[in-house]
Amino acid sequence: MKKILLISALALLGCKRNAPQVHPPVGGVLSKSDLDVSRNRMKNLNTLERQQIQDWVNSQDIKFYPTQLNYWSTVEGFDKRQRRPDESPISYSYDLYDFDQTKIYDKPIQRKDARFGHFDELKAVENALRYMKEGEEVTLLVPSSLAYGTFGDENKIDNDIPLIIKLKVL
């Protein structure tokens, strides 16, 4: 009986797992050095992605123009147009592609009668829609910081993935 208890005790101790690493809670306070590391990582990633996107643009037959918000558009002077005000309604749809030009989702993402100032949308999409005309289609080249960032969409889009967005005002 003692042998069974001893073997059982050893088996339990052998199965003991290491304690999980402790992380600060989401929304918790980070130190200044943690914030600096994160800021530098994003700055370096953004610089790298902008260079990769520019290299991709240079290899295309279609012209793309940089905007002030850090994405590219197929329309020259796009962000110099008159801007739509908050609360104005807009209906739109868009498709997402990676830089291999593979469509990510089969169906477009579509919104009817959305109101500016109340969007739950990608930063680049909301910004671009403010400058678009009725019925207009625009292709955007968006670094990951203006897309789904460091978390992805928790479905088909991984973290730190720049996107091609084909956007249309309905």
**Which residues of the chain are under the pLDDT cut of 70?**
1-30
pLDDT of residue 65: 95
Q: What is the structure's pLDDT at 103?
A: 97
Q: What's the burial of 112, exposed, middle or buried (CB within 10 Å: 0-12/13-18/19+)?
A: exposed
Cα 78 to the center of its chain, rounded Å: 21
Would you state the pLDDT for residue 19? 45
What is the pLDDT, as a whole number, of residue 4?
56
**pLDDT score at 7:** 59
